[in-house]
Structure formats: structure tokens, C-alpha cells
Amino acid sequence: MTDHLLEATGLTKTYALPGGGRHTAAEDITFTVPPGGALGIVGESGSGKTTVARMLVGLVRPDKGEIRVEGGLRPSRPSRGKAARLARARQIQMVFQDPYISLDPRLTAEQCVATALRLHGKAESAAALLDRVGLGTREARARPRELSGGQRQRLAIARSLAVDPKILVLDEAVAALDVSIQAQILRLLEEIRRDTAVALVFVSHDLAVVQHVTDEVLVMRRGKAVEHGPTQRVLTAPEDPYTRLLLASVPTEGWNPSDAVRARAALPG
Amino acid sequence: MTLLSRTARRLAGLLATLFAASFVIFAAVYAAPGDPAVFLAGGRDKLTPERLASVRAQYHLDEPLVVQYGRWLWDCVHLDLGRSFKYSDQVADLVAARFPTTLQLVAYATLLFVVLGVGAGVLAAVKRSTWVDSLVVGGTTLAASVPSFVAAIALVSLFGVQLGWFPVTGSGEGFGGTLRHLTLPALSLALGALAIISRVTRQAMADAAASDHVEAARASGVPERDIIRRHVLRNALGPIVTMCGLVMAGMLAGTVVVETAFGISGIGSLLVGAINTHDFPVAQAVLLLMVTGYIAVTTLVDLVHPLLDPRVKGATT
């Protein structure tokens, strides 16, 4: 068991619906990530993948299930003690979907990164860290509104790396970017993974993106895990009809939308 | 656009507003019922048409509105606000004698509503959806629904008469005396503002706290106290400062009731007296001063705003 960096067991989260009853956002989700590994969580909007990501980071408290990092139970909320709080932060960091609201509008790139570095007593300079994610001195002095979407996402990645986390959770981190910028960010993540051995949990609706960055993939539908396996195998020989639908929905050369419509009609429930 | 040209443009707008307001004020006082010449001539008893005509000519009341307005504006620009019909003193002297008291009262009330209102709002935002939140919202709503003259009487009866902590009338001597005398009036002025300030603070903080960057800061191990102070409150300051400025500006023109209730001779009571006795020059000067104060405070808030909120700077430069 100790060879797993991250172990999520039986994660379940339900929300109360306005008219009584409960909506199950995630049900009995179990997976593991090895040190330096990369797991993709895919599914359409509302499949519960973001809920799982937020449970990992601690923004949403699971109703049931547990999250272990290096064998130890991860506290569900930040502790009051400084050492425990910083240790928890070093376990998992998150990069959010929308880089327009995930950065403090008041702080320059340098201040944003320097705050996290100082908090965790890191010797690395903010400029060096920004340089690692491809932001120069001009960008270092800029506030988020003066940066492009891609630059903002680089800054968000730099901020999470400042903590030097073991696991980086990326929630649709490239979904708001255009395709060429997406490729740059994915390459950056690939480099970071190689250089720092940080493990990635990559949440996305985009199978093409997941294919590039992950070793394993978990397919979610309506809060349940429908398929789980090595990325290559799942994408080339999907076992679940829902995974086949997701694959059929990716527009490629000679893509026929009616295939996707037929695949959806064939889905149970 | 540079800060200089922005300030210059703001200043031009300010003067234009002031000009328009001065005409409205002059015309409104002119159109008010009652003839000042009757008062100036010493009442209706021994009034003859000849006497009335001579008074009108003496005070230029027989000229058309626009001519009178032009004369008054010309004098105003030359810092001559005219003489009071009633006291025969220079209006400027009358106003100068009364204005500091009102200013002190408003400053004191502002201090109270900013500290208590923003404090209560922050508390409600941090303890959102708990009994503390409900208490703040309920308590400030209750305070706001009590008219200031009722609050004044209640405060006088409790702290002034029953407990005897504070004097109930007059404006006091020296710093300590002024502070003691103005506490109850300032408190009754501030009570009504607490609800709106605490509500705005609470909502602005809730909006700022909903941003992902706050969650990111929390996830990176920043202590909760620093998150509230540096990321939430700091980003919520824009609307809070704007609202505090507007409420303070409004108070400059709203001290009449409290001044009357506590027997303070500020410009509020001066204005009421001037209107009742058809003392045109005094009423016009006080109203003009109130409007100027309002414009000055709101302009100041507008100028400070970009320093607080980098997004606003982006919109105006």
C-alpha cells in the first residue's frame, strides 16, 4: 500500500436538492496515483469530476470515503497550527479552470508567487520560479489583468509550484485557453512533471488533452466511475459504451456527429 | 491618460455640477412661498405699498430672477455671500461660526459608523449563516428602522438622564468637552447608517471570498486571518469606501434633526431658521455649502477608488 502516493477510497458526495431528495455528485470513487504518476479524470459536464477534484484539495468535504497521501489520512480542513497547515498545503495544490478569477487582481505576478514562497520558507526567488514557467521580467511586474489567458494560467501553475507540492490537481486547467496555448501549457506540465516528479491529477472533458498528459484515466458518468485503466488502452479499446461515446464525440478528420448521437441513444439509463 | 488630466477633467465636471446646483438652489429659495420684503419691512402691520417697493428696490428684489441670480453668483465667485436679512451680519461669518460644529459632528458620526458598521459587516461575513450573522443583520436593521429623532430621544433618556454619562445639550468647550457633548448626537446620526454599511461590507466580502484565488490562498496554507485581511477585505474595499463616502456626504445635509434635538448650533439649525424667516442669503449659502460638501466628498472617493482597486484604474486610464 505504501507505494501509492495518493489513495482515494470510496469518495462520495451528495447535495440536497431544493425540492427534497439528494443529487449524487460522486459515488464510491476509488483510485490511486503512484509517486510522479499522472491520472486523468474525464467525463462530460455534471459527471462529478470537478467534485472529486475539489474533494481532493479539501474545498468540498466528502460525505463518505477517505483520502490518504503517503499512507497518512489527509485532514479535511486546514489546521490552526502553522506546521500542520503548511504540511497539508505541500500535499496537494490546485490549478483552477478560470485563470481570470483564480488570481488576486491586486497582486503582481511576482508578489503572488513571492507570498507563497515566503510562507513556505523557500529559498528560490520568485523571478526564477516565474522563469521556470516561461514568464519573464515584464510579466513579473504585471497584474493579472495585464496578462493573457495563457500567461495567467502559467502564473497559477507557478503559484502552486511555489509550495512544492507532491500532487498537483488541475481542474479543466486548459479548457479556457485556445488550442495553441493549450499545447504550450501541456508541454509545460510535461516538463514540470519530468523535472520535479510531481504527480498530476488532470481533470478534463477533453480526451485529446488527457491522452497527452496522463498514464491512467478514470472515466466518470453521473457521479460513478464507469471505466478505469491505462490511458492508451482506454482510448484505443474502450470497454464501456460511455467511453466509446466520449471518443466518438471528439471531432477529428472524417468525424461524423451522427455517430455520437447514435452512441448516446445506445447508452443505458 | 495621466493622473493630472484625469483630475483636471474631474475638476471641470465638479465646477459644472456646482454651477447647475447653484441655480437650482437660488431658484428654489426664490420660488419658496412668502415674500421676504414683508419680513424685511418689519411685518405686515404698518406696511404701505411705497415702503414695500422701497425695500424691494434696496435689496434688488424687484429685478427678474436671472438678474438677481447673476448678481448673487458674481458676488459668490468673489467670496461675498452677502448679508443676512435677519441678523444683518456677513453670511460668511454666520456660516463660518456654525460650520465647524457640524463638521465635527459629521466627522464623529462617520468615525462611529465606519468602525462599527464595517466591523459588524466583517464579523457577519466571517461568521456567515450563523447566529452572529443573523444578529448583525437583525440588529442593524432594527437600528436603521428607528428614525434619528426617536433614537435621539431614547439616547438622551438613557445615557443623558438615567445614567448621566453624557450631557444632553450644547456643543461643549475644548476637545474633551466637544467629544462628550457630541457623542450622543453622533451616535444617533450613525445608527441609521450602520445597517447599510454593514450590509454592503458583508456582501462585498462575500463576493470577494467567492473567488477561486481565495480558495487557492487557503489551499496554499495561508492562515485564515491573513486570508480575510489581505485577500477578502482588501478586495472588497472599493464598494465599502464608496458607500461610506456617500453616507458621510449625505450626513452633511442631514444633521438638521439631530442638531435640533440636541440643541447644537450647527449649519443645520441655521438653515431651518433661515428658511423660516425668509433669510434668502443665509439659506442659499448654507445649501450651496452642503452641495459643495457633498460633491467634494464624492469626488474624493472617486479619486481614491483607483488606488484601492486595480480594475477601476484599468477602466479609467
Q: Return d(Cα B11, Cα B17) in angstroms, integer.
A: 10
Write out the three cell numbers for A155. Answer: 502564473
Decide if A122 touches B, using CB distance below 8 A.
Answer: no
Evaluate whether residue A251 is within a structural domain.
Answer: yes
- Which among B220, B224, B234 is the nearest to A89, CB-wise? B220
What's the whole-model pTM score? Answer: 0.78
A189 and A254 belong to one structural domain: no
Contact between chains at A143 and B310 (C-beta distance less than 8 A): yes
Q: Please tell me whether residues B185 and B304 are part of one structural domain.
A: yes
- Among partner residues B220, B234, B314, which is closest to A163 by beta-carbon distance? B220
| Edge-to-edge strand list for the sheet holding A64-69 | A22-33, A6-16, A64-69, A72-73
Residues A10 and A132 in one domain: yes
Residues A150 and A230 in one domain: yes
Verify that A209 and A253 share a domain, yes or no. Answer: no
Contact status, residue B207 vs residue A82, Cβ threshold 8 Å: no
Domain that holds residue B14: 3-77
CB contacts of B213 in chain A (<8 Å) are 101-104
**Domain enclosing residue A256, as ranges:** 243-269
The amino acid occupying position B142 is L
Number of domains in chain A: 2
**Whole-angstrom Cα distance, residue A136 to residue A126?**
11
Phi-psi region of B241 (alpha: psi -120 to 50; beta: other; left: phi over 0): alpha
Give the per-residue pLDDT at B317: 37
Q: Which helix (H) or strand (E) holds A52?
A: helix A49-57
Report if residue A1 sits inside a domain: no
Look up residue A101 and give its three cell numbers.
478569477
Question: On the CB side of B71, how many CA atoms lie within 13 Å of its CA?
Answer: 12
State whether A51 and A129 are in the same domain. Answer: yes
One domain, residues A172 and A257: no
Instruction: Give the pLDDT score at A20.
Output: 79
Cβ atoms B268, B259 nearer than 8 A: yes
The CATH number linked to A32 is 3.40.50.300
Q: What gap in Å lies between CA B171 and CA B98, rounded to an integer?
A: 11
Average pLDDT value for residue range A234-261: 82
A254 and A159 in one domain? no
- On whether both A144 and A266 belong to a single domain, the answer is no
Q: Looking at the 3D structure of chain B, how many domains does it have?
A: 2
Q: Using the structure block, give the residue that is written with the C-alpha cell 476509488.
A: A30
Contact predicate A174/A182, CB 8 Å: yes
A159–B223 CB contact, under 8 Å:
no
User: Does A234 touch chain B if contact means CB atoms closer than 8 Å?
Assistant: no
- Which residues in chain B show pLDDT less than 70? 1-2, 43-46, 309-317
Question: Integer distance in angstroms from the first to the last C-alpha of chain B?
Answer: 5
A129 — contact with chain B (CB < 8 Å)? no
**Same domain for A257 and A144:** no
Q: What distance in Å separates residue B138's CA from the closest CA in chain A?
A: 26
Q: Are A175 and A149 in contact (CB under 8 A)?
A: no
Instruction: Give the pLDDT score at B44.
Output: 67
- Gyration radius of chain B over CA positions: 24
Asked if A222 contacts A198 with a C-beta cutoff of 8 angstroms, the reply is no
Q: How far apart are CA B307 and CA B312, in angstroms?
A: 9
Q: Which of B46, B77, B108 is the last residue of a domain?
A: B77
The answer to whether B87 and B94 are in contact (CB under 8 A) is: yes
Q: Is a pLDDT exceeding 50 seen at residue A262?
A: yes
Contact criterion met (CB below 8 Å) for B62 and B53: yes
* Range from A76-80, A91-95, B220-224 that averages highest in pLDDT: A91-95
- What does the alpha-carbon distance between residue B57 and residue B49 come to, in Å, rounded to a whole number? 12
Counting DSSP H helices and E strands in chain A, the numbers are 11, 10
pLDDT of residue B310: 62
